[in-house]
């Protein structure tokens, strides 16, 4: 059977997240619990988490989480890493042996910063440098795969049910102010860990539910700008789109949402605020190929916040709740209740209506 990336595998999913707007850090146990009542939405073929604020002692360095097929793949990739980065620390990511999680690759993490000479040579900024090097590794370095590359954040994923994956990575031992989680229901058995979600680039991480119908239009557009969709998954292309719109084009979260889940033309025509209508028309026309159609609910994680977004027809479920400094978002209310039985203001955001939650004090 072809490995993920050589073939496109549609999936259904469960997603959940929690964030403390005060920046209070919480252990991974909360988010693992959220995934338990949504067990039926996954089929044991992929689970994962993204956690923000977990590496305060290394917050100025990019944390590369990597899978290697074997030791020799790691050794040869490390040559590449050393040519491009100053490596502050490199270590095994601690795991717990579980009968439910098998066939694990070599899982490693590096805290790095780009070599100045490399930046000067390419005349690009640090973040663009990271993106290029990560895409290089993932498309050119055999047996090596970067699955997380942001600062002070990390993605943890594996083939298995999400709650097992959480325990496997000992997420109870990490403290994050924001967590997102994903349980996957792929339509066949890729058996490759890189294919699990979240998908991340820099500090942007995406968990996503639904199979989009615009995939190849989006992919073929975004690949013009240096991205390479090696996994052929919706999550991957959405992450690249968000990176392109937010980082490269400098758009706001709201503006980006107006592109990927653009309002219908008829809605725009009926807007009473002309400036608003002009802006939406502009964004939709300028980036028509980044409109995402078909069902999706996504949670975008980034340093300092979260954005949840449904497709404009709201073909997937998504619920938001809150209490005190915490905001919860999940595919099902049950997941929110599992995290906090006393959560209040439970509501379902409309299609194309982004829910943006940011830390009060910034990242």
Partner 1 sequence: MKINFILPEFEVIRDRDSCVSCRICERECSNGVHSFNEKKKIMTADQAKCVDCQRCVALCPTSALKIVKADCSFPSNGNWSEASIKEIYKQAETGGILLSSMGSPSCLPVYWDKILINASQVTNPSIDPLREPMETRVFLGKKPDKLKRDSDGKLKCELSPQLSLSMPVMFSAMSFGSISYNAHKALASASCELGIMYNTGEGGLHKDFYEYGKNTIVQVASGRFGVHEAYLEAGAAIEIKIGQGAKPGIGGHLPAKKISSEVSQTRMIPEGTEAISPAPHHDIYSIEDLRQLVFALKEATNYNKPVIVKVAAVHNIGAIASGIARSGADIIAIDGFRGGTGAAPTRIRDNVGIPVELALAAVDQRLRDEGIRHKVSIIAGGSIRNSSDVIKALALGADACYIGTAALIALGCHLCGNCQSGKCNWGIATQQPELVERLEPEWGKKRLVNLMNAWKNEIMEMMGGMGINSIEALIGNRQMLRGVGMTSKELEILGIAHAGE
Does position 294 bind partner 1 by CB under 8 A? Answer: yes
Minimum CB–partner distance for residue 112 and partner 1 (Å): 28
**Given 5, 162, 166, 210, the residue binding partner 1 (CB under 8 A):** 210
Radius of gyration of the chain (CA): 19
| Interface pattern 218-237 for partner 1 (x via CB under 8 A) | x-xx-xxx------------
Rounded least distance, CB 223 to partner 1, Å? 7
Least gap, CB of 74 to partner 1 (angstroms): 32
N-terminal to C-terminal alpha carbon distance within the chain: 43
With H, G, I as helix, E, B as strand and everything else as coil, classify residue 49.
strand
What ranges in the chain are assigned the alpha helix state H? 29-35, 71-84, 116-122, 126-140, 162-168, 215-222, 234-243, 253-260, 265-269, 274-286, 333-339
286 forms part of the interface with partner 1 (CB under 8 A): yes
Q: Is 268 in the site for partner 1 (CB under 8 A)?
A: no
Taking the complex as a whole, the smallest distance from the CB of residue 348 to partner 1 amounts, in Å, to: 18
Of 14, 77, 134, 251, the one binding partner 1 by CB under 8 A: 251
Q: Do residues 217 and 75 lie in contact, with contact meaning Cβ atoms separated by under 8 Å?
A: no
Applying CB under 8 A, what is the total number of residues that bind partner 1?
A: 44
Task: Put residue 148 in one of left, alpha, beta given phi > 0 → left and psi -120 to 50 → alpha.
Answer: beta
| Binds partner 1 (CB under 8 A): choice among 264, 270, 348, 360 | 264
Q: Given strand 144-148, what is the order of strands in its sheet?
A: 85-92, 106-114, 62-68, 144-148
Is 110 among the residues that bind partner 1 (CB under 8 A)?
no
Task: Select from 315, 334, 353, 358 the one that contacts partner 1 (CB under 8 A).
Answer: 315
Reported as type and span, the H/E element at residue 234 is helix 234-243
Considering only residues 129 to 188 of the shown chain, the ones binding partner 1 according to CB under 8 A are 187
Residue from 106, 119, 279, 334 binding partner 1 (CB under 8 A): 279
- Residue 326's H or E segment, with its range, is strand 326-330
- To partner 1, the closest distance from the beta carbon of 140 in angstroms equals 17
Nearer Cβ to partner 1, position 214 or 331? 214
Q: How far is the CB of 289 from partner 1 (least distance, A)?
A: 6
Provide the annotated active-site residues: 13
Strand-strand pairing, 305-310 and 319-323: unpaired
| 273 binds partner 1, rule: CB under 8 A | no
Closest CA to 113 of 62, 54, 151, 154: 62
Sign of CA dihedral 340, 346, 347, 348: positive
In angstroms, the CA 156 to CA 217 distance is 29
Contact mark string toward partner 1, 4..43, x via CB under 8 A: ----x-xxx-------------------------------
How far is the C-alpha of 137 from the C-alpha of 149, rounded, in Å? Answer: 12
Q: Structure tokens of 320? A: 């938001």
Q: Which positions lie near partner 1, rule CB under 8 A?
A: 8, 10-12, 187, 210-218, 220-221, 223-225, 249-251, 255, 262, 264-266, 278-279, 281-283, 285-289, 291-295, 313, 315
């Amino acid at each position: 059977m072809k490995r993920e990336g050589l073939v496109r595998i549609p999936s259904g999913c469960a997603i959940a997240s929690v964030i403390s707007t005060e920046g209070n850090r919480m252990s991974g146990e909360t988010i693992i619990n959220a995934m338990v009542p949504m067990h039926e939405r996954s089929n044991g073929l992929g689970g994962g988490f993204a956690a923000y604020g977990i590496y305060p002692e290394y917050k100025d360095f990019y944390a590369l989480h990597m899978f290697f097929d074997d030791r020799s793949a790691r050794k040869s990739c490390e040559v590449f890493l050393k040519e491009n980065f100053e490596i502050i620390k490199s270590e095994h990511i601690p795991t717990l042996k579980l009968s439910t999680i098998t066939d694990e690759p070599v899982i490693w993490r590096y805290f790095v910063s780009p070599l100045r000479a490399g930046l000067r040579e390419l005349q690009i900024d640090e973040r663009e440098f990271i993106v290029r090097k990560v895409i290089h590794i993932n498309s050119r370095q055999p047996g090596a795969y970067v699955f997380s590359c942001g600062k002070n954040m990390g993605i943890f994923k594996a083939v298995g049910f999400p709650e097992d994956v959480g325990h496997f990575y000992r997420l109870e031992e990490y403290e994050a102010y924001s967590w997102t989680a994903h349980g996957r229901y792929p339509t066949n058995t890729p058996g490759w860990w890189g294919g699990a979600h979240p998908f991340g680039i820099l500090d942007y991480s995406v968990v996503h539910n639904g199979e989009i119908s615009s995939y190849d239009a989006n992919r073929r557009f975004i690949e013009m700008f240096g991205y390479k969709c090696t996994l052929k998954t919706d999550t991957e292309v959405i992450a690249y789109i968000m990176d392109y719109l937010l980082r490269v084009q400098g758009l706001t979260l709201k503006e980006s949402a107006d592109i990927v889940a653009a309002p219908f033309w008829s809605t725009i025509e009926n807007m009473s605020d002309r400036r608003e209508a002009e802006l939406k028309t502009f964004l939709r026309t300028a980036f028509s190929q980044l409109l995402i159609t078909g069902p999706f609910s996504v949670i975008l994680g980034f340093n300092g916040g979260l954005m949840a977004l449904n497709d404009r027809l709201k073909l997937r479920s998504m619920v938001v709740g809150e209490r005190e400094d915490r905001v919860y978002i999940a595919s099902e209310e049950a997941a929110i209740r599992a995290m906090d039985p006393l959560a209040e203001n439970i509501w379902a955001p409309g299609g194309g209506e982004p829910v943006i939650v940011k830390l009060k004090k910034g990242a």
